Amino acid sequence: MKSHLNDEELIRQCRDSQPIDCFEELYSRYVDKVYRRCLSITQDSEKAHDFTHDIFLKMFAKLEMFQERSSFSTWLYSISHNYCMDQLRLAKRMPTDSIDDDDSDQLADSNEGVIVEERHRQLEQIMAQLSADEVTLLRLKYEQNCSIEQIARQYGVKQCAIKMRLKRSRDKIQRLYQQQYGS
């Protein structure tokens, strides 16, 4: 099914009929871009292939959640980035190496790691309370290192609007953090 529909029209059609054809079309349009994104994050072609496959399955399962607040490619890019980062964080938490006697010095430093992990967990809980738009905007700026200008172009708004949205989102995180964790 080689469709001449744009992504959003294709997704609307997909929701009404032929979800498998829709999936195949979206896959063919974006598989290379998603793979390159995964490869740039993982630096491992085997992982990038596995992650790409998983991302498309996840995208297909969540297609009903796509609300067209941003372009489909931005939404898929966000899923790709978040999935890769989650998998890499998970791999760090569950090391496959055995602990030798020589590693006992590293265990003494684990308290710092526990504190960092706890703060990360707290931040993830706070982020879960934000809207999808707020999370996407913050991730574009701070995880993907997009410039204010790039984000403004992507959203089709002025740079000052993006700056204000970022400020409000940061203020909201700080307020929620103080309410829940008191520091």
Task: State which residues form the domain around 159.
Answer: 116-183
Whole-number Å distance between alpha carbons of 55 and 31: 10
78 in any annotated domain? yes
Report H helices in 19-71. 19-42, 45-61
76 in any annotated domain? yes
| Residue 49 shares a structural domain with residue 135 | no
Average pLDDT over residues 133-139: 84
| Residue 153 shares a structural domain with residue 87 | no
Whole-number Å distance between alpha carbons of 83 and 55: 7
Return the biggest CA–CA distance within the chain: 62
Whole-number Å distance between alpha carbons of 182 and 123: 13
| Residue 121 shares a structural domain with residue 80 | no
| Residue 75 shares a structural domain with residue 155 | no
DSSP characters over 128-161: TTS-HHHHHHHHHHHTS---HHHHHHHHTS-HHH
> What residue has token string 């410039």?
147
**pLDDT class for 13, splitting at 50, 70, 90?**
confident
> What residue has token string 């710092």?
112
Write down the pLDDT at residue 34: 93
**In this structure, what CATH number is given to the domain that contains residue 33?**
1.10.1740.10
| Residue 66 shares a structural domain with residue 26 | yes
pLDDT at 58 over 80: yes
103 in any annotated domain? no
What's the number of CA atoms in the CB half-sphere (13 Å) around residue 90? 6
Whole-number Å distance between alpha carbons of 121 and 106: 22
Whole-number Å distance between alpha carbons of 9 and 41: 30
Residue type, 159: Q
Q: Name the residue among 108, 168, 158, 177 with its Cα closest to residue 133.
A: 168
Distances (CA, A) of 26 to 30, 58, 163: 6, 13, 32
**pLDDT class for 2, splitting at 50, 70, 90?**
low
**In this structure, what CATH number is given to the domain that contains residue 152?**
1.10.10.10
pLDDT at 102 over 60: no
Number of domains in the chain: 2
Write down the pLDDT at residue 176: 84
Mean pLDDT estimate for the chain? 79
Write down the pLDDT at residue 92: 79
| Residue 72 shares a structural domain with residue 130 | no
100 in any annotated domain? no
Q: Name the residue among 61, 91, 93 with its Cα closest to residue 76.
A: 61
